[in-house]
Amino acid sequence: MPGIDASSTFPLGDRPVKRLGYGAMQLAGPGVFGPPKDPDAARAVLREAVARGVDHIDTSDFYGPHVTNRLIREALAPYPDGLVIVTKIGARRGEDGSWLPAFSPEALKQAVHDNLRNLGLDVLDVVNLRIMFDTHGPAEGSIEAPLTVLAELQRQGLVRHIGLSNVTATQVAEGRRLARIVCVQNQYNLAHRGDDALIDALARDGIPYVPFFPLGGFSPLQSSTLSAVAERLGATPMQVALAWLLHRAPNILLIPGTSSVTHLRENLAAGDLKLPDDALRDLDAIGRTGHA
C-alpha cells in the first residue's frame, strides 16, 4: 500500500490545498475560552505551520472568542499567496464559555464582519455555516434561513465560498440546492465513523470532507490496536490516526489541532506514513467495534 504523498492536494473551492492542513482552535485558552498562556508560543505554531507548507488553516471567531483569529492575523498577515483560511459562523460564546447558537440574520452578518476585521481580510475564503440545532452533533431541521443570509453575504462579495458544518446528509442535500457548497466539516475519526456514507457520496461529487476532532478532540484517541499498529510501523498513534484518514478517502482534508510545534511537526509527517494492508485491516476494525 503506497503512502500518501505529503504534498498531494485536493480542490477546496477554486484552489487546490494540501491534504494536511492545520486547525487553530487549540491556540485559544483552556476550554477554547480567553487567551492562551503563551501567545508567542501560539504565534510560533502558526508560523511553523506555514513555513512547513501548510496552505489550509481552519479557525473561527468564536474560538476565544476572537482570540484565535487575532493570533492568526498577528502571526501571518500579510498572508502568503495560496493560503486558504476557513472560518465558521453560527455560534457565539456565553459569558461562562458556553457554546450558543447565533443564527439570526443580524448575528450571521455580525459574525462575517467580525471575522473580516479580526483576520484583517477584505473577503473570507471559505465560511462554514456551523449548524447548532444540537451543539454536540448533527440534528435534522431546515438550514434554508441561515444559508440564505450567508449566500446574500457571498453575493455582496464578503465571502468567496460557503461550506457546512455539523450537518446531516439531508442538510447537505438541502444546502446544495440553495448554494454551491465547497466543503463539509463534521466530526469523524478512526473511532467515530457515522459519516462513512456521506464521505463516499461527497467524494463522488469532488467535495472535500474535513473531519473535526481527527485525533479525538477533547478526548484524544486511545486504543490498544492503534498503539500496536503505531509500534509496528515505528510511528506515533496520532500519526497513524491521521494517515488512516488520508487513506480513507481522497476528498478528506485534515486540520489536526495542536498548540505545540513538536506535535505540529509530528502531525505533518503523517503524510509520508505508509499503511500496509494488515495495518489498515486492524485499524478498520476499531471503527466497526466502535471502541477507541
Ligand X SMILES: NC(=O)c1ccc[n+]([C@@H]2O[C@H](COP(=O)([O-])OP(=O)(O)OC[C@H]3O[C@@H](n4cnc5c(N)ncnc54)[C@H](OP(=O)(O)O)[C@@H]3O)[C@@H](O)[C@H]2O)c1
Site for ligand X in 76-95 (CB under 6 A): 88
Exactly one of 10, 62, 258, 271 binds ligand X (CB under 6 A); that residue is 258
Q: Does the active-site annotation cover 63?
A: yes
Residue 213 as a binder of ligand X (CB under 6 A): the answer is: yes
Q: Using the rule CB under 6 A, which residue among 53, 220, 250, 276 binds ligand X?
A: 220
d(CA 106, CA 115): 14
Query: Using the rule CB under 6 A, which residue among 217, 228, 261, 280 binds ligand X?
Result: 217
- Contact with ligand X (CB under 6 A) among 226, 255, 286, 292: 255
Number of residues this chain uses to bind ligand X (CB under 6 A) = 27
State which amino acid sits at residue 193. R
Residue 208 interacts with ligand X (CB under 6 A)? Answer: no
Sheet holding 22-23, edge to edge: 22-23, 56-58, 84-89, 124-130, 159-165, 181-185
Question: What kind and span of H or E run contains 19?
Answer: none
State yes or no: residue 146 binds ligand X (CB under 6 A). Answer: no
Kindly state the smallest distance separating residue 236's Cβ from ligand X, in Å.
6
- Give me the amino acid identity at 290: G
DSSP assignment of 60-84: -TTTBTTHHHHHHHHHHPSPPTT-E
Establish how many alpha carbons lie within 13 A of residue 145's alpha carbon, considering only the half-sphere containing its beta carbon.
10
User: Which CB atom, from 281 or from 290, has the smaller least distance to ligand X?
Assistant: 290
Stretch of residues binding ligand X (CB under 6 A), selected from 18-26, 149-157, 175-183, 190-198: 18-26
Nearer to ligand X, 118 or 166 (CB): 166
Biggest alpha carbon–alpha carbon distance for the chain: 53
Asked if 235 interacts with ligand X (CB under 6 A), we say no
Length of the chain: 292
What residues are annotated to the active site? 63
